[in-house]
Amino acid sequence: MTLRALDRLQRADVVVYDRLISPDILERIPALAQRLYVGKALGHHSVPQAGIHALLIEHAKAGRRVVRLKGGDPFVFGRGGEEVQALQAEGIAFEVVPGVTAASGCAAAAGIPLTHRELSGSCVFLPGHLADDGATHDWRALARPGQTRVFYMGIQRLPHIAERLMAHGLSPDTPAAIVRDGTRPSQVVLACGLRRLLELAPAYGPQPGLLIIGETVQLSTHFQSACTDAADAADAVCHD
């Protein structure tokens, strides 16, 4: 969280917050501020998006200082743009406070550069559900070398993403990583070749993860060692 965001949070009358906001951030909300949970999980939205718009508009028009608290950057797969449009339509003044999106924050915490002069000249941010419909994107272009691909909420759809990329020419040995709970003490990084990652990837759970595919993953100190540790653990369970 930036200092500017913290300042706005501590002056809020109403805080409308998402599911993945960590407890240490929630503790910084003023005691007298009203908290409104509008979190979304896979297949379940506690409040529909239109309902979120209505809450923001209602409290703003009542003269309250409203903070819409999102994880990461509100304009990167965060529906911040839709909420801004709703406020604009009602003539409500607002401020957007930039955040650190998961792609850059989690990649840096895992030691994975998103770009590198010798390995990756571009970086693409993509939603994990892109894999559900092969016709929605140019997978052949995504499979080309020299780029880093970052899939938000990508763990659940890892098999589909990997299948489409490899079917369009991406090497199965391309370095890839899963980062869960990125930047937190509980952070877990699994990094190895894409084909091996498919074998060792954890099942989708309540905490989403970031999927990073590209040559720069090999620069992380987690590359290979995490997969080796996972394989050793699996062998130990089998032998027991």
Task: List residues bridging with 150 in a β-sheet.
Answer: 125, 212
Per-state percent for the chain, helix, strand, coil, to nearest 5: 40, 20, 40
Identified catalytic residue from 13, 24, 40, 232: 40
Identify residue 54 by its one-letter amino acid code.
A
Identified catalytic residue from 7, 13, 18, 132: 18
Instruction: Answer whether 20's CB lies under 8 Å from 69's CB.
Output: no
* Known active-site residue 18: yes
CA dihedral 69, 22, 31, 82 (to 10 degrees): 10
Task: List residues bridging with 40 in a β-sheet.
Answer: 45
Residues labelled as active-site residues: 18, 40
